[in-house]
């Protein structure tokens, strides 16, 4: 074997004098495989991804799903409790972060099993089966399962009243397991409907809120969060007991587990958890608006500023005022649940891009000026929309949710034969469709799931307010 390699090295020296890097690579690869061939078993055992491999590859691979607290885009900024926490973990480990979005809980589990990711950064409930193959880390607040229904005279208050009722759950989910157990307890009369696998549990809550289905099962804290969107939701009836939950890693990743547990105990991490819990779990996006004193005969206390800066974007100042009204109700000190600040509700990164800091963002004139510059920027994004009045609608939509989801809706409109340069009945229609798996999983969609109702309502309401303002003398 040694003489063989000496001969091969001699030949290689002749080749290298006249050749290229590709041959060098092939030779080294061959040398490595030949010398390690008798240690195949050891090599196979060594591929279990743990902290040393993560650091070696300089990348922490994380699987999660779109959700109200896990991961989502808000005005083109990545947000979510789980996303922000795992971003902090990657920073602590001094490695890059790679986010992989799964379509459902089963896909997240499979990605972790197949070693395609290192962590599932999503709120999974501890079960015997999952605890057998995974470690649970970063525990979150315990919660219990409840029946999600609509408030009304016929609301169910005890489990026996579920007999004969259709209750929708995901197949093989913790909710399905509990519902089947409850069904046995009351005599097997619940009509359990298995939802399409493309739907998440949060999708089912939304369907109840939209009165498309009557019942589902969810965790109380998640149901309460959705109740801020759907005031008609009733999530008072418990169907289970408190359960532990958290992120998951493989049982082979013992060093990663130790690193996460050490990170969890640090005071900075505990402080971040507390801050993010309030941001994503306690505050409703529908926040109460403080009243602002408006001078007699004026639209707002800032009419003179709207008149000063609206010409920069060739807008009627009444339209700019309408945007500010729907963003902040003319409250210059307003901070939204997502961190958007000031009259024009600028997200932190957007404010920074246009020269504002944590203090100047609350200066009415500077905030309006930066908001106008952002609108000017969005105007360039949608310059392909030739009609100015139509382009304004696209800009308003993008101002509310960011341009990414609007581009997705335009792509869908084009694919399905609608006009991608017309808002009402065309792009607006497909923005609403981005909450349905058939559409947000379409190959022309780049930015995934989006609940478009608020943005559609925002465009319509802002235009109506503008019309009302412009009629004033």
Extract the tokens encoding 253: 């990743």
Q: Kindly report the backbone phi and psi dihedral angles of residue 449, in degrees, each rounded to the nearest multiple of 5, phi listed first.
A: -60, 145
Extract the tokens encoding 342: 């000031």
Q: Is 271 a catalytic residue?
A: no
Helix/strand/coil for 336: coil
Q: Residue 341's closest CA among 43, 75, 121, 36?
A: 75
Evaluate whether 312 touches 372 at the Cβ level (below 8 Å): yes
Task: Report CA-CA distances (Å) from 43 to 34, 36, 38, 109, 285.
Answer: 13, 8, 10, 25, 51
Tokens 């507390």 locate to: 274
- What whole-number distance in Å separates Cα of residue 137 and Cα of residue 223? 23
Tokens 């089966």 locate to: 129
Residue/partner pairs of 332-338 with CB below 8 Å, 24 or more apart: 332/302, 332/362, 332/363, 332/364, 332/367, 333/290, 333/362, 334/289, 334/290, 336/285, 336/287, 337/279, 337/283, 337/284, 337/285, 337/287, 338/74, 338/75, 338/77, 338/79, 338/279, 338/285
- What whole-number distance in Å separates Cα of residue 191 and Cα of residue 189? 6
In this structure, the dihedral spanned by the alpha carbons of residues 258, 264, 266 and 272, taken in order and rounded to 10 degrees, is 150
Evaluate whether 189 touches 164 at the Cβ level (below 8 Å): yes
Q: Are strands 191-194 and 166-169 parallel, antiparallel or unpaired?
A: parallel
- What whole-number distance in Å separates Cα of residue 376 and Cα of residue 12? 61
Evaluate whether 310 touches 317 at the Cβ level (below 8 Å): yes
Find the catalytic residue in 327, 369, 390, 428.
Answer: 327
* Residues that are catalytic: 327
């Amino acid at each position: 074997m040694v003489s063989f390699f000496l001969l091969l090295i001699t030949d290689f020296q002749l080749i290298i004098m006249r050749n290229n890097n590709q041959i060098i690579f092939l030779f080294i690869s061959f040398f490595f495989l030949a010398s390690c061939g008798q240690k195949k078993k050891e090599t196979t055992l060594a591929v279990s991804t743990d902290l040393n491999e993560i650091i070696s590859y300089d990348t922490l691979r994380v699987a999660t799903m779109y959700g109200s607290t896990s991961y989502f885009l808000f005005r083109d900024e990545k947000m979510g409790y789980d996303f922000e926490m795992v971003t902090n973990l990657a920073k602590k480990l001094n490695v890059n972060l790679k986010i992989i979005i799964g379509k459902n809980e089963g896909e997240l589990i499979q990605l972790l099993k197949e070693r395609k990711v290192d962590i599932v950064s999503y709120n999974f409930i501890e079960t015997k089966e999952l605890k057998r193959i995974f470690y649970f880390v970063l525990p979150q607040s315990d919660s219990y399962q409840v029946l999600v229904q609509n408030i009304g005279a016929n609301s169910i208050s005890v489990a026996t009243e579920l007999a004969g009722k259709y209750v929708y759950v995901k197949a093989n989910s913790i909710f399905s397991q509990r519902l089947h157990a409850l069904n046995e307890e009351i005599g097997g009369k619940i009509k359990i409907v298995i939802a399409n696998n493309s739907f998440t549990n949060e999708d089912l809550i939304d369907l109840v809120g939209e009165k498309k289905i009557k019942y589902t099962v969810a965790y109380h804290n998640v149901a309460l969060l959705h109740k801020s969107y759907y005031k008609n939701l009733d999530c008072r009836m418990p169907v289970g007991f408190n359960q532990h939950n958290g992120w998951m890693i493989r049982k082979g990743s013992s060093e990663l587990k130790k690193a996460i547990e050490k990170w969890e105990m640090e005071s900075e991490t505990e402080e971040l958890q507390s801050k993010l819990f309030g941001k994503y779990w306690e505050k409703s996006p529908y926040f109460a608006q403080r009243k602002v004193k408006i001078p007699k005969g004026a639209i707002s206390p800032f009419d003179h500023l709207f008149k000063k800066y609206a010409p920069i974007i060739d807008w009627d100042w009444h339209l700019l005022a309408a945007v500010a009204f729907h963003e902040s109700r003319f409250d210059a000190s307003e901070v939204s649940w997502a961190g958007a600040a000031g009259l024009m509700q600028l997200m932190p990164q957007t404010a920074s891009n246009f020269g504002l800091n944590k203090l100047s963002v609350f200066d009415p004139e500077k905030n309006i000026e930066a908001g106008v510059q952002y609108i000017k920027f969005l105007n360039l994004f949608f310059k392909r929309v030739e009609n100015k009045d139509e382009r304004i609608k696209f800009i308003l939509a993008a101002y509310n949710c960011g341009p990414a989801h609007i581009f997705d809706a335009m792509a869908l409109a084009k694919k399905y034969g609608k006009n991608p340069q017309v808002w009402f009945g065309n792009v607006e229609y497909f923005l609403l469709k981005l909450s349905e798996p058939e559409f947000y999983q379409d190959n022309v969609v780049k930015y995934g799931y989006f609940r478009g109702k608020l943005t559609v309502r925002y465009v319509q309401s802002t235009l109506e307010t503008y019309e009302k303002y412009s009629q004033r003398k």
